[in-house]
Amino acid sequence: EADIYQTPRYLVIGTGKKITLECSQTMGHDKMYWYQQDPGMELHLIHYSYGVNSTEKGDLSSESTVSRIRTEHFPLTLESARPSHTSQYLCASSDRFDEQFFGPGTRLTVL
Amino acid sequence: GEDVEQSLFLSVREGDSSVINCTYTDSSSTYLYWYKQEPGAGLQLLTYIFSNMDMKQDQRLTVLLNKKDKHLSLRIADTQTGDSAIYFCAEREGDDKIIFGKGTRLHILP
C-alpha cells in the first residue's frame, strides 16, 4: 500500500484566500508530482520535483507554486484562489522505476 | 508533444471480458502503464509492460503491446462489478515524466 498522504481531502474556500495543499510521502522517493484533474477525468501535470530544492513547472500553466525543502514534503500553494482553480489536485511520487504512487487527492472548490 | 489516446467510455456485461485500447506516439517509450482510479481516490498502478515485450499476463489482466502500431490494450477477464473504474493508459517520456491518456470509464452492466 502506498504511503502518500494529502490534506485536506476536501476544501471549500472563498475567492482571494491563500491556500496550501499538503502532500507527504514516507517512501523516500526523490521524484514528486502535482496533477490537476478535470471533471472530465483528464490529468494535467502542473509541477514536479526531482528532489530537495528542485521544482519544475509541468505541461499545464498554473498560478500555483510549490516548494521542496524536505524529501517527504511537497506542498502546493495558491496565493489568491479563484473559481477557475476549482478542481481535483492529485499528488504523486515515484520510485526509480517510475512507478507513480498517488495520494487520495484534494477536491478544491473556490466560491 | 507526445500524446496518448484512449476511448472515453466502455460498457461491459458482468462476467464478460473488457478490452480497453490505447494508442501512443512516442516510439522511444520504454515503459507503458495501466492505472486504475476508483471514485474519490487517486490512481493506482495496475500493471506495466516493458517496450521489448509483446504480452504480459497477471491473473485476470492481460496487456498486449503492438510496437509497430503503437497500440496498447488491457484485457480484464471475467469482469466484476469491482472493476468499475476509470482506467488510464500512460507512457514514460524520457527519464522525467509519465504522459497519461484521458482515461476510459468502464461501466459494468448487470
**Chain B residues touching A104 at Cβ < 8 A:** 40-42
Residue with cell 503492438: B66
Does the beta carbon of A5 lie under 8 angstroms from any beta carbon of chain B? no
Q: Which helix (H) or strand (E) holds A49?
A: strand A43-49
Amino acid A18: pLDDT: 95
Which three cell numbers, joined as nine digits, stand for A111? 466560491
Tens-digit pLDDT profile for residues A51-89: 999 999 988 878 899 999 999 999 999 999 999 999 999
- pLDDT confidence of A1, banded at 50, 70, 90? low
Query: Is there a contact between A98 and B31 if contact means CB atoms under 8 Å apart?
Result: yes
- pLDDT confidence of B2, banded at 50, 70, 90? low
In our burial notation (b when 16+ CB lie closer than 10 A, e otherwise), range B61-88 reads bbbbbeeeebebbbbbeebeeebebbbb
Q: What are phi and psi of A83, to 5 degrees?
A: -55, -30
Q: What mean pLDDT, rounded, does chain B reach?
A: 90
Tens-digit pLDDT profile for residues A7-59: 999 999 999 999 999 999 999 999 999 999 987 678 899 999 999 999 999 88
Which three cell numbers, joined as nine digits, stand for B14? 458482468
C-alpha distance from residue A101 to each of A16, A19, A98, B74, B98 (Å): 32, 24, 9, 20, 12
